[in-house]
Amino acid sequence: MATARGLRPREQEARIPHDGRAHVETCPFCKGNEDKTPPTIVALPNEADWEIRIVHNLFPVLGTESDRANISVGMQQIMDGYGHHEVIIDHCKHGMEIHEMSLGHLKMLLGVYRRRMEELFVSDSRIRYVLVFKNFGSAAGASIKHTHSQLIAMPIIPENVYNEVASSHAYYQKFHQCIFCSLIDEALTFEATIYNRGSGEVRRKVDVGQYVIERGERFIAIKPFASRYEWEVHILPLEHSSNFTRATPEDMADLAAVLKRTMQRLDKVLGGAQYNFYFHSTPRCEAFRDCDASYHWHMEICPRTTIPSGFELGSGLFVTTISPEDAARQLREAL
Ligand SMILES: [Zn+2]
Ligand SMILES: [Zn+2]
Ligand SMILES: [Zn+2]
């Protein structure tokens, strides 16, 4: 953390002006243009009057055509680009943003994320991970402006997920508790004051709930103490659960409420900031069959306010110009 850097000019990522248009004639994701996308996989609540539509991605990162054995040459490992890449049109209204969607709609959206994830795991035994994510803004990777998210089902466990699952498993073996549950407990119940040894002055103070952004009946939104992005927020189930596909309709209703309020807060403070969000849940993997007790599924929201520089890329260290306590306070006070 370098708050002094906050005073210096820093390359800021552009904010996206709010697009209130419900319908754009030339948009392939708008109603009436269904023939401009690949065929529908799922339409909710129904095909004729859909509010959410899932289609195959026209430019897939992974596809199902190739199905050959993996080959390696020396240290070069090659694998066919096998998998599924789907686009989830979040809302029939073109410029609708997550924080503006009704609770009923968000519940339906979260429900269909869960459903597709489960269906792909069940129908395709080669799939090891299904990543559901959203890109908002071109700097965050969105090429089409109509509100949408994506899903990529892959035959490998992505490194970020692997590292989380492996590290939390190691933590569990050492401390016999889930590290995510411990983080939630700490955010809700921990306070501390650290004094200067010589002068006795207060150096640092941690208050109960200082990192809590939003709390529902079943979910909590937390500002991580040491996050990569300065406004990063994670949403986790309060009750321990390792896999998103096991979330119930009641869970989805509460998650919808916590997500909406969290996105409202971020919008209020950051006004149109580009962002990504994605879900982390247990992969299908023999080596991690027993990670139900040690892993805890969650959602990570990463607002892209500043542009990572050579320092971030070269070192893997991320500089933030606002303390996690300040960021959390601003987000808490926003509504
Ligand atoms: Zn559109
Ligand atoms: Zn847990
Ligand atoms: Zn994660």
In the chain, the N- to C-terminal Cα span, in Å, equals: 26
Mean pLDDT confidence for 167-186: 96
Q: Which of 151, 158, 139, 132 is CA-nearest to residue 60?
A: 151
What average pLDDT does the chain have?
93
Instruction: Give the pLDDT band (50/70/90) at residue 65.
Output: confident
Query: What separation in Å is there between the alpha carbon of 241 and the centre of ligand 3?
Result: 14
Residue reference for tokens 């109960």: 208
Mean pLDDT confidence for 319-325: 90
Quick one: DSSP state of residue 68?
P
Q: Is the pLDDT reported for residue 313 higher than 70?
A: yes
Q: What SS3 state is found at 115?
A: helix
Q: Which of 330, 301, 264 is CA-nearest to residue 140?
A: 301
| Integer angstrom CA distances of residue 48 from 32, 58, 86, 117 | 10, 22, 20, 24
Mean pLDDT confidence for 274-293: 91
Longest dimension (CA), the chain: 73
Ligand number with the minimum distance to the CA of 133: 3
Residue reference for tokens 């035959």: 155
Question: What is d(CA 56, CA 119) in angstroms, rounded to the nearest whole number?
Answer: 15
244-253, 277-286, 318-327 — most confident range = 244-253
Element (H, E) at 53: strand 52-56
Q: Is the pLDDT reported for residue 247 higher than 80?
A: yes
Residue reference for tokens 């990572």: 308
Query: What separation in Å is there between the alpha carbon of 298 and the centre of ligand 2?
Result: 10
Mean pLDDT confidence for 31-60: 94
Identify the residue with better confidence: 215 or 4: 215
DSSP states along 127-157: --EEEEEEEESGGGT--S-S-EEEEEEESS-
Ligand number with the minimum distance to the CA of 243: 2
Q: Which of 5, 2, 112 is CA-nearest to residue 51?
A: 112
Ligand number with the minimum distance to the CA of 224: 3
Q: What SS3 state is found at 256?
A: helix
Q: Is the pLDDT reported for residue 91 higher than 90?
A: yes
pLDDT of residue 309: 86
Query: What separation in Å is there between the alpha carbon of 164 and the centre of ligand 1?
Result: 36
Read off the pTM: 0.95
Q: Which of 93, 84, 94 is CA-nearest to residue 55?
A: 84
CATH among 3.30.428.10, 3.30.750.80, 3.20.20.450, 3.40.250.10 for 19-65+79-333? 3.30.428.10
pLDDT of residue 187: 94
Ordered by start, the domain boundaries in the chain are: 19-65+79-333
**Ion ligand 3, residues whose Cβ is below 5 A away:** 280
Identify the residue with better confidence: 318 or 217: 217
